Amino acid sequence: SGQKVCYGDFKHSCYKLAYFQDLSRRVGFQEARQACEIDGGALLSLESEAEQQLIENMLQNLTKSGSGISDGDFWIGLWRSDDGLATSSTCPDLYQWTDGSISLFRNWYTDEPSCGSEACVVMYHQPTANPGLGGPYLYQWNDDRCNMKH
């Protein structure tokens, strides 16, 4: 389940936000991807700073709604499907959108992606975390292990 928000003026006119405070309901990357596809959509691909800002505003509104949102990152549709042989210099270029989008827009947190065994991407949403080198852990992107529950 999730909150569906539609706009008439964007290329992708509807977005569905699913946030589960109950940790047992959170899912890994492939489960999230399948849930979106079953629902007729795809994990979010972000094509511009304007779309990134739109999503940030929607998440802020969701937080203000009194639903008691706490820390919990959101899967987006960016991942690296290589065989793990990427060097640190080539790794960032290997990320691709699951829906086939060709957008080169990226919003990585400082010192991300870290690569290695982390091949799936989340949008940070950790309002209670102490800020790091790149500031608060809010809305920037981080590569994470695909089996993590978000």
Task: List pLDDT tens digits, range 36-74.
Answer: 999 888 999 999 999 999 999 888 877 665 556 678 899
The phi, psi pair for 33, rounded to 5°, reads: -60, -45
Q: What is the pTM of this model?
A: 0.87
β-sheet bridge partners, residue 121:
143
Domain-located, residue 150 = no
Q: Return the CATH number at 24.
A: 3.10.100.10
How many Cβ atoms from other residues are within 10 Å of residue 113's Cβ?
Answer: 23
Query: Residue 52 has which token pair?
Result: 């990134």
Which run of H or of E encompasses 13? none
Domain that holds residue 82: 2-144
Averaged pLDDT score across all residues of the chain: 85
Please list the alpha-helical segments (H only) found in the chain.
29-38, 49-64
Spatial separation of the C-alpha atoms in residues 59 and 79, rounded to whole Å: 22
Is residue 49 one of the residues assigned to a domain?
A: yes
Domains contained in the chain, number: 1
pLDDT 10s digits, 75-103: 999 999 765 555 667 888 899 999 999 99
In a domain, 149, yes or no: no
